[in-house]
Structure 1
Amino acid sequence: MVTLLLDSAQLEVVLSPLERALSFRRSRLRIERAHIVRVQLTDDPWTWLRGVPSPGTQVRGVVAMGTWKSAGGDDFIVVKRRKPAVVIDLDPGTGAGAAAEFQRVVLTTRHGLALVQALRLETDAEAVEVTEIVTGAIPAPVVKPRRARTPKIAPAAT
């Protein structure tokens, strides 16, 4: 599972050793916050894949990791099974890092909502995990207590 670190200047995607091996990427993925155009949550990340892995690993429905090359631009993908994911569209401007390298980043993570909320907040200069930034900011669901049903007693037959 990828770890998402965010500071005032950039989003950093930290890959596990297995993810680095399958994606053929040696270093962390660094995305300048200024280059993030849109962040979307999706339940089916497989619909967001475009192009072919080059270099990358793909076992349909199981895992897709690496760089996906297409006519529309290059995407960085870390997708596992049918788990929720986050789709990050980048401005291909003249900047360095992931914005110049990729047009889109698709990551399977259970912290997608926390990432969206953290990107809206001001953060410190030090990189902190996304879930720590929004701790307490995600409202707990309101659960209404259920009324106990009283059993109906049938009248006695006479």
Structure 2
Amino acid sequence: MVTLLLDSTQLEVVLSATERALAFRGEAVRIARSSIRTVQLTDDAWTWLRGVRARGSHVPGVLAMGTWKASGGLDFVLVRRRRPAAVIDLDGDGEFQRVVLTTRHGTALQQALRLKAEDEPTDVVELATGAIATHPTATQAPD
């Protein structure tokens, strides 16, 4: 499973050894935080794939991992089956124009991107859950 790390300057998509092999990519995908335009959540990542596989692995309906060449540039995809996904649209100045990832942490990614991140890379789930203040409900007495 992919790990998403965020610091004050970049989002890093850390790939497992299997994901690196299937995507034909030796390193993590690094995205400048300033180049992220939107993050959309979807239940069907397959509808967001565009273009043709340039480098990587593709078994229709099962997995798509690697670089896809679209008319305007390159997309990086890491899609497994019919799982929830995040579609990250970029400004096009970097290596990719779009990143499509199946992840159950899409909401945490959206929340973490709204926060001021530290200089050290931190998992987006930790950033998002640590930033949510909990308030006692009306039925609970404050401590």
Deviation at 1:72? 2.5
**Cα separation, 2, equivalents of 1:22 and 1:138:** 39
Output the amino acid matched with 1:19: E
Unaligned 5+ segments in structure 1 are: 94-99, 143-158
Match of 1:148 in 2: none
Q: Residue in 2 aligned with 1:112? A: 106
Q: In the aligned structure 2, how far is the partner of 1:58 from the partner of 1:12?
A: 23
In structure 2, the CA distance between the partners of 1:53 and 1:128, relative to structure 1 (3 Å rule), is: same
The answer to whether the aligner puts 1:39 opposite 2:39 as a matched pair is yes
2:97 to 92, 103, 117: 103
Alignment of 1:90 with 2:90, yes or no, is yes
Structure 1 letter corresponding to 2:107: L
User: Normalising by structure 1, what TM-score?
Assistant: 0.81
Runs of 4+ deviating beyond 6 Å: none
The gaps in structure 2 that reach 5 residues or longer are: 138-143
Q: Residue 77 of structure 2 aligns with which residue?
A: 77
Q: CA RMSD in A?
A: 1.5
Deviation string 1:33-60 (CA, Å, 9 cap, x unpaired) is 0000111000000000111111111101
Deviation string for 1:92-142 (max 9, x for gaps)?
13xxxxxx2110000000000000000001111000000101115288xx9
Separation in 2, partners of 1:138, 1:46: 35
Q: Corresponding residue for 1:14? A: 14
1:132 matched to 2:129? The reply is: no
**Equivalent residue pairs, number:** 134
| TM-score normalised according to structure 2 size | 0.90
1:74 is paired with a residue whose SS is strand
Name the counterpart of 1:58.
Answer: 58
- Rounded to whole Å, the distance in 1 between the matches of 2:82 and 2:133 is 24
Q: Judging by fraction of residues, say which structure has more strand.
A: 2
Judging changes above 3 Å, is the alpha-carbon distance between structure 1 residues 112 and 124 closer, same or farther for their aligned structure 2 residues?
Answer: same
| Aligned-partner residue type, residue 60 of structure 1 | P
C-alpha distance in 2, partners of 1:47/1:57?
17
